[in-house]
């Protein structure tokens, strides 16, 4: 089928809905490709994507604008959630992620990022999106779980946001590293007359949970006088939604009503792979269980054979929406030093309190546990008063190995609870002004930034592996010891771990991390002279930046004695110096077929302490053959220097959901695979069965990484017909289309663990097999995949947007905004033993880590206003995707949101009231087999349930 036919067929369904419903078609965030209403038409300003001032109606690159009213119309309490609804946005962290203790650190060098909210463009990852605040860099996030290379938008108080500009084009030559996929520029309030306040409350209607509160307050002294002040604050509180309260997340497998192999073998009754047997208790036992070695499952034994039905259902203990509290404040102070000089000071403080939760700790001991720490080497002494098996040797000492694995769910400690506290401090100072050179004006600014994110995490439910070892060892070495050792009973089932036992092995884990930014820059822009077609624009500048990051896990964890996710301290610093130049050259104006023809050129030289030097170039063309039609095209080089976490990150573990092809689970093993498995050391008798769906993947940074590079093309245009205004019933009409093609080279990535395992098993590839370690029983103990400059990413697609606004009629004023993104290709290429391997992800669900790549996403919004009343009807459409490994189709989803507003004229519009419902028709997310938690992709779909809210606003 041709691309053209694909586009037509993809668009038919939402187009029919728009025609039939006047707007319930595919929708995401309320956005507009037109300049923000606060910008005077025709006035030369700086729009994201260029340092040169220009008419905002003639912007040289595709920019999406989201203003304050657009954010309010969504009913969401996070700017990140709003941006994640833009169709060109891929998946990123948000409040639907609950991964702290379930999977460990993803293999990207950035840590878990628990409680953070980020933005991704073009599915290239949030670390390839540059976030600015008023054109200046914002600092990277911190969550006390690694050193991420992405910005946490939860660190920015929403009360300071006036609008958000999203550049959907590469901009490394303008802004430097990270701007491969695009730029998000948050514009803050700089002038306000009087007080603005709002309060919003919402919850899931049928379930009565997930309550949110959002309070915003700001005040300004007006725009008169030389001193302008805007100050404000906000408070946001979001309660959690338990996975136990949604049907989709009751079991690890979608639609299941009982445990299958996806449930855990770490059960309250215990799983014991000892002396050649796989056993569990028949029931809890007080004291020491009976074990008959001649008949292990007979009447004289308290044990029975372990079966799938005995597995533990960990799913109901998670969150499907995490609890979150944010409060903060800001101050924008601008002082007019003289008629040509201004001083601006911005200060921001923000606190984030967030929580995650996982099922009670699965305590795994023995050589097949795959912990990668002391617990894999534990020998359980025969003198332990609760051990019915005699001494169990792990094989790491002089005695031969006689047991493989013991898994005991420590339900006595309750769920694992993770609490993060993140403090953000940010100060920027700008001195700017202008001066005349003959008849032209040049603008200058000098900026200084200091920012810090300080994160602290407290974890309850972890245990000290060294204390576990002592408590399971010789009783003579434990009883009476100075550290209060108490012999541990992991054999008697639920309740057998007494408070004294638990208090000895348990500890409160305290982790911390910091990210710091220091930045100074200077810019000069303006026009040097006039050409026949207009002013010759120029911008030049210099920037020096210091970025520091550190992660310090709890000392017990750092020593290798934690029983949950292992981690080591990380710290590093990256310095950079950069210079850039930009030209805007008008070539033709008001000629036949050349109403306007401009060329923009840019170059930037960067020198990074960890990645060397790099020079990037960009060129773009604006052509108006007639006044109503703007055609534009751009070519850009990009780069991204390795982040602190990628360069200096220490090894950490990621528990990835992978099926070992050598396991007997799921049926007979093909003969060729079976022979290879035997050659890899898997027992020929078929006794090896994968104990858990998750396998331990060790990942980490690499100091030898170099910068990623990219090449991007954007070709498109905007049609704004003047006849629409002349028709009398339309105030404005525009149609915009942009084709994008982005190729990333030497992308920083680890070879996927399932790829390494698959290559090893199917072809005995030496490189891949060297990365996979197995124990003598055949179990995989570890897969190693460290970051390298190995990947190539090639993606292309099309954005199409329709924007119209009617004049005032007897029935009111109407507006329709309809934006669409078509993803044609998304290919990831990694090296193979011979040549390369390319995986096409468009139209698929990747799963673990979760990410859907729909071929089509769309947002349509119908606005209506009449007198004191207004309403919005929004549709958000996501085309279905498939899971390649599970042969499962995630069906298409159409979410519908509605909001009604009242702003009484008799109160001089000082009071406003809004009521709305998101997901009006209660659409559930499509069930996902490969997704990590809750059987849904949190990057793409809503929490199940109708979310209703009310908001009141006030100004004076």
**Maximum mean pLDDT: which of 59-68, 513-522, 660-669:** 513-522
Q: In sequence order, what are the residues at sequence separation of 6 or more whose Cβ sits closer than 8 angstroms to the Cβ of residue 588? A: 533, 594, 596, 597
Give the least confident one: 229-243, 542-556, 673-687. Answer: 673-687
Are the C-beta atoms of residues 291 and 302 closer than 8 Å to each other?
A: yes
**249 alpha-carbon distance from chain centroid:** 21
Q: In the predicted model, is pLDDT for residue 665 greater than 80?
A: no
Instruction: Quote the pLDDT of residue 26.
Output: 31
Residue 897 is given by DSSP the state E
- Order across the sheet with 129-133: list the strands: 63-67, 161-167, 182-188, 129-133, 136-137
* Cα separations in angstroms, 119 against 141, 291, 321, 797, 942: 12, 56, 18, 19, 16
Q: Which residues pair with 335 in a beta bridge?
A: 227, 343
User: Looking at residues 663-670, what average pLDDT do you find?
Assistant: 71
For residue 5, pLDDT over 70 is answered with no
The reply to whether omega before 301 is within 30° of 0 (cis) is: no
pLDDT > 80? residue 491? yes
The reported pLDDT for the residue numbered 254 is 94
What gap in Å lies between CA 560 and CA 466, rounded to an integer? 9
- pLDDT for the residue 21: 34
116 token code pair? 């953070």
22-36, 68-82, 415-429: segment of lowest average pLDDT: 22-36
Q: Are 331 and 346 in contact (CB under 8 A)?
A: yes
pLDDT above 60: residue 41 = no
Distance from the first to the final alpha carbon of the chain: 59
Report residue 22's pLDDT band, with 50, 70 and 90 as the boundaries: very low
Q: Which residue has the higher pLDDT, 528 or 272?
A: 272
pLDDT score at 360: 97
| pLDDT band of 843, cuts 50, 70, 90 | very high
Query: How confident is the model at residue 56, as a pLDDT?
Result: 58
204 versus 27: the higher-pLDDT residue is: 204
pLDDT at 255: 93
Q: Is the pLDDT of residue 1 over 60?
A: no
| Of the candidate ranges 436-450, 823-837, 902-916, the one whose mean pLDDT is the lowest | 823-837
pLDDT tens for residues 723-749? 887 777 899 999 999 999 999 999 999
Average confidence (pLDDT) over 832-841 = 85
Task: Specify the pLDDT at position 810.
Answer: 92
Residue 57: the pLDDT is: 55
Enter the tokens of residue 248: 């989709």
Residues 751-806: tens digit of each pLDDT: 889 889 998 999 998 989 999 999 989 999 999 989 999 989 999 999 999 999 99
User: What does the pLDDT read at residue 44?
Assistant: 65
Phi, psi of 311 (to 5 degrees): -65, 160
Q: Which pLDDT score is estimated for 384?
A: 97
At 280-327, the pLDDT tens digits run 999 999 999 999 999 999 999 999 999 999 999 999 999 999 999 999
DSSP state of 82: H
pLDDT over 70 (residue 819): yes
Region 571-590: mean pLDDT is 97
Here the tokens at position 581 are 């130049």
pLDDT at position 517: 98
Q: Alpha carbon of 318 to those of 100, 242, 456, 835, 943: distances in Å?
A: 10, 6, 21, 42, 13
Q: Which of 757, 787, 750 is nearest to 771 (CA)?
A: 757
What pLDDT score does 58 carry? 63
**DSSP code per residue over 748-759:** EEPPPHHHHHHH
Interval 423-464: pLDDT, tens: 999 999 999 999 998 888 999 999 999 999 999 999 999 999
Of 569 and 22, the structure prediction assigns the larger pLDDT to 569
Residue 9: CB atoms within 10 A of its CB come to 11
- Integer-rounded Cα radius of gyration of the chain: 30
pLDDT beyond 50 at 374: yes
> For residue 64, which of 182, 190, 188 has the smallest C-alpha distance?
182
pLDDT of residue 848: 77
What is the per-residue pLDDT across 600-637, written as a single tens digit (0 to 9) for each? Answer: 999 999 999 999 999 999 999 999 999 999 999 999 99
Q: Give the residue carrying structure tokens 């023809």.
A: 597
Q: What is the mean pLDDT of residues 653-678?
A: 84
pLDDT digits (tens, 9 = 90+) for 87-114: 999 989 999 998 877 777 887 888 889 9
- Distance separating alpha carbons of residues 889 and 102, to the nearest angstrom: 25
Whole-angstrom distance, CA of residue 441 vs CA of residue 443: 7
Q: What is the pLDDT of residue 15?
A: 38
Nearest by Cα to 649 from 697, 571, 701:
701
Greatest mean pLDDT among 435-439, 589-593, 664-668: 589-593
Residue 3 pLDDT class (50, 70, 90 cuts): very low
Q: Which pLDDT score is estimated for 271?
A: 97
When pLDDT is averaged across residues 837-855 and rounded to a whole number, the result is 92
Separation of alpha carbons 213 and 944, rounded Å: 19
CB 493 within 8 A of CB 285: yes
The CA angle 594-599-603, to the nearest 5 degrees, is: 175
Contact 355, 322 (CB under 8 A): yes
Q: What is the DSSP string of 458-497?
A: EEES-BBHHHHHHHHS-HHHHTT-TT-------SS-TT-S
Query: Quick check: 627 and 591 in contact, CB under 8 A?
Result: no
Q: What is the mean pLDDT of residues 26-51?
A: 50
What digits encode the pLDDT tens for the residues 350-372? Answer: 999 999 999 999 999 999 998 88
State pLDDT tens for residues 107-163: 788 888 999 999 999 999 999 999 999 999 999 999 999 999 999 999 999 999 999
The mean of the pLDDT values for the chain is 91
CA-to-CA separations, 256 to 99, 250, 264, 573, 690, in angstroms, rounded = 22, 8, 14, 48, 20
252/932 Cα distance (integer angstroms): 9
Task: Give me the pLDDT at residue 329, please.
Answer: 97
Residue 476: Cβ-neighbour burial (10 angstroms; 0-12, 13-18, 19+):
exposed
Q: Which of 843, 873, 871 is nearest to 857 (CA)?
A: 843
Q: What is the dihedral of CA 587, 590, 596, 598, to 10 degrees?
A: 10
Distances (CA, A) of 878 to 30, 93, 443, 822, 921: 16, 18, 45, 11, 15
* CA nearest neighbour of 859 among 891, 811, 894, 825: 894
Q: What is the CA 686 to chain-centroid distance, rounded?
A: 41
């Amino acid at each position: 089928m041709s691309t053209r036919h694909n586009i037509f067929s993809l668009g038919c369904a939402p187009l029919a809905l728009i025609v039939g419903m006047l707007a319930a078609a595919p929708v995401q965030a309320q956005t507009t490709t037109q300049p923000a209403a606060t910008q005077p038409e025709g006035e030369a300003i700086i729009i994201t994507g260029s340092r040169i001032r220009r008419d905002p109606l003639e912007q040289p690159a595709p920019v999406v604008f989201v203003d304050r009213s657009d954010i309010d119309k969504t009913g969401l309490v996070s700017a990140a959630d709003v941006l994640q609804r833009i169709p060109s946005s891929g998946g990123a962290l948000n409040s639907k992620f609950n991964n702290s203790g379930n999977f460990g650190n993803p293999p990207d060098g950035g840590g878990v990022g628990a409680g953070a909210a980020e933005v991704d463009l073009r599915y290239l990852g949030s670390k390839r999106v540059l976030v600015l605040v008023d054109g200046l860099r914002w600092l990277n996030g911190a969550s006390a779980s690694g050193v991420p290379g992405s910005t946490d938008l939860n660190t920015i108080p929403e009360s300071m946001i006036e609008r958000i500009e999203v550049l959907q084009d590469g901009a490394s030559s303008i802004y430097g590293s990270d701007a491969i996929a695009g730029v998000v520029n948050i514009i803050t309030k700089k002038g306000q007359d009087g007080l603005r306040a709002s309060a919003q409350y919402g919850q899931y209607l049928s379930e009565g949970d997930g309550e949110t509160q959002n309070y915003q307050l700001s005040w300004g002294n007006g725009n008169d006088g030389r001193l302008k002040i805007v100050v404000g604050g906000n408070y946001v509180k979001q309660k959690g939604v338990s996975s136990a309260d949604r049907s989709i997340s009751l079991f690890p497998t979608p639609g299941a009503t009982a445990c299958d192999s996806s449930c855990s073998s770490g059960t309250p009754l215990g799983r014991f792979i000892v002396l050649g047997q796989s056993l569990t208790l028949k029931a809890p036992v007080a004291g020491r269980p009976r074990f008959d070695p001649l008949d292990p499952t007979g009447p004289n034994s308290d044990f029975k054979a372990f079966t799938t039905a005995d597995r533990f259902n960990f799913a109901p203990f998670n969150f499907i929406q995490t609890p979150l509290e944010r409060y903060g404040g800001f101050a924008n102070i601008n002082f007019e030093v003289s008629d040509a000089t201004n001083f601006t000071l911005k200060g921001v403080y923000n606190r984030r309190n967030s929580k995650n939760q996982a099922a009670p700790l699965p305590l795994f001991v023995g050589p097949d546990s795959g912990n990668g720490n002391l617990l894999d080497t534990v020998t359980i002494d025969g003198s332990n008063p609760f051990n019915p098996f005699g001494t169990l040797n792990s094989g790491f000492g002089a005695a031969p190995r006689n047991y493989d694995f013991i898994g005991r769910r420590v339900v006595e400690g309750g769920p694992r609870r993770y609490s993060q506290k993140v403090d953000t401090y940010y100060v920027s100072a700008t001195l700017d002004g202008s001066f005349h050179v003959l008849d032209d004006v040049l603008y200058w600014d000098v900026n200084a930034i200091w920012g810090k994110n300080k994160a602290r995490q407290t974890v309850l439910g972890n245990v000290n592996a060294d204390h576990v070892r002592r408590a399971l060892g010789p009783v003579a070495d434990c009883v009476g010891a100075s550290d209060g050792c108490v012999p541990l009973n992991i054999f008697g089932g639920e309740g057998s771990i007494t408070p004294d036992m638990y208090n000895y092995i348990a500890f409160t884990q305290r982790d911390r991390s910091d990210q710091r930014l220091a930045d100074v820059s200077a810019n000069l822009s303006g026009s040097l002279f006039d050409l026949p077609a207009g002013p010759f624009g120029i911008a030049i500048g210099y920037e020096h930046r210091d970025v520091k990051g550190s992660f310090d896990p709890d000392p017990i964890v750092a020593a290798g004695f934690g029983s949950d996710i292992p981690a080591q301290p990380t710290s590093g610093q990256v310095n950079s110096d950069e210079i850039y130049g930009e030209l805007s050259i008008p070539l033709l104006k008001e000629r036949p077929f050349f109403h306007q023809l401009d060329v923009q050129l840019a170059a930037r030289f960067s020198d990074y302490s960890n990645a060397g030097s790099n020079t990037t170039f960009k060129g773009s063309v604006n052509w108006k053959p007639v006044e109503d039609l703007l055609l534009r095209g751009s070519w850009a080089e990009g780069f991204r220097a390795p982040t602190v976490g990628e360069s200096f990150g220490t090894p950490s573990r990621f528990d990835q959901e992978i099926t070992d092809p050598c396991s007997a689970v799921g049926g007979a093993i093909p003969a060729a695979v079976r022979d290879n498995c035997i050659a890899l050391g898997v027992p020929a008798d078929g006794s090896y069965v994968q104990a858990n769906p998750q396998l331990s993947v060790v990942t980490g940074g690499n100091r030898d990484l170099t910068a990623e590079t990219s090449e991007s093309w954007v070709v498109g245009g905007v049609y704004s017909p003047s006849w629409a205004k002349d028709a009398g019933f339309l105030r404005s009409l525009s149609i915009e289309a942009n084709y994008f093609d982005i190729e990333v080279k030497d992308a920083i990535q680890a070879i996927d663990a399932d790829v390494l395992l698959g290559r090893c098993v199917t072809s005995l590839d030496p490189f891949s097999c060297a990365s996979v370690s197995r124990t003598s029983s055949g179990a995989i103990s570890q897969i190693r995949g460290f970051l390298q400059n190995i990947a190539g990413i090639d993606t292309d697609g099309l954005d199409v947007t329709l924007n119209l606004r009617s004049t005032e009629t007897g029935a009111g004023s109407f507006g329709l905004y309809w934006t669409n993104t078509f993803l044609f290709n998304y290919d990831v290429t990694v090296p193979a033993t011979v040549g390369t391997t390319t995986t096409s992800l468009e139209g698929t669900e990747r799963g673990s880590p979760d990410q859907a790549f729909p071929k089509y996403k769309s947002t349509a919004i119908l606005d209506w206003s009449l007198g004191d009343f207004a309403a919005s009807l929004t549709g958000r459409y996501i085309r279905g995707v498939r899971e390649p490994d599970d042969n499962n189709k995630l069906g298409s989803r159409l979410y519908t949101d509605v909001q009604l507003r009242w702003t009484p004229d008799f109160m001089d519009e000082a009071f406003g009231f809004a009521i709305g419902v998101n997901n009006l028709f209660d659409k559930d997310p499509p069930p996902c087999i490969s997704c990590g938690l809750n059987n849904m992709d949190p990057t793409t779909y809503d929490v199940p349930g109708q979310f209703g809210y009310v908001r009141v606003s006030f100004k004076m």
